Amino acid sequence: MKRHVFPILAICCLYLLLSCQQDKPAATEKAAPKTAPITTAAEKETGEWTVLFDGISGAHWRKYGTDHFPDSGWTVNKGALVLLPKSGGGDIMTKEKYQNFDLQLEFMAAKGANSGILYLVQEIEDQPMYMSAPEYQIIDDANYIKISEGDPAVTKHHLTADNYDLQTATNKKLNPAGEWNTARIVINKGHVEHYLNGAKVVEYDLRSPEWEAMVQASKFADWEEYAKADEGHIGLQDHGDMVSFRNIRIKRL
């Protein structure tokens, strides 16, 4: 009986050794990495971009001519900053001023709506916001063309993304009223660019001879304060119609 003990022990040890090796992961097999948290483009650029509207608060904005956000008219709904129609909310503007910047946002005009994004806004007593500031026009293009019967004397320089009353946006692809569009305005050392849905549609140089000629041919020819400042607020216009804005951010250049 004794001479059979050693073979039996050897078989048991071999069995245990093989079992342990099967429990271990193969040497070439790597443990599955933990899923990394999703980082948005805005988060990657933290420190450069300022979120002017986060879908919750209007803390970066105030009513033109006051020190506070409007008590009525402007509201937050489903992550958007919304101007209710014929609400008397009034124009709003950023609390901060900007000189060289990259402004990006989304906007949605209701059917028949008219509004605008103004920049280099100066707060001048007894004067409306638009008298001092260039404007990125926002409007229901299809409706405006329809009611004006396509008359270029009415629609010229007055459609979405135009440099209002000065230049017509070109190469543009506009989503219709009731749908979201992206806008971008870049100013750097007097050079201005308008973008619509990713495409550059307007470009000009403030106070260049070409720009001065455009101003003289516009309604602004005799407006002494129009676009004279190198720094100013960003403004959102109340034209009495429903318009929504979201994902508003700005970067100083």
Q: State the SS3 of 168-216.
A: CCCCCCCCCCCCCEEEEEEEECCEEEEEECCEEEEEEECCCHHHHHHHH
Over range 73-100, report the average pLDDT: 97
pTM of the model: 0.81
pLDDT attached to residue 55: 96
Cα 82 to Cα 86: distance, rounded to the nearest angstrom = 12
pLDDT attached to residue 152: 86
Cα 129 to Cα 118: distance, rounded to the nearest angstrom = 8
Give how many domains the chain has, as a whole number: 1
* Residue 21 forms part of a structural domain: no
* Residue 133 forms part of a structural domain: yes
CATH of the domain at 197: 2.60.120.560
Q: How many CA atoms lie within 13 A of 114 on its CB side?
A: 10
**Quick one: 162 exposed, middle or buried, by C-beta within 10 A (0-12, 13-18, 19+)?**
buried
pLDDT attached to residue 72: 95
How would residue 150 be classed by pLDDT, with cut points 50, 70 and 90?
confident
**Residue 176 pLDDT > 50, yes or no?**
yes
* Residue 238 forms part of a structural domain: yes
Looking at per-residue pLDDT, the higher value among 78 and 28 belongs to: 78
Of the chain, the percentage scoring pLDDT greater than 70 comes to 81
* Residue 35 forms part of a structural domain: no
**Which residue segment(s) compose the domain that 220 sits in?**
44-252
* Residue 132 forms part of a structural domain: yes
* Residue 2 forms part of a structural domain: no
How would residue 153 be classed by pLDDT, with cut points 50, 70 and 90?
confident
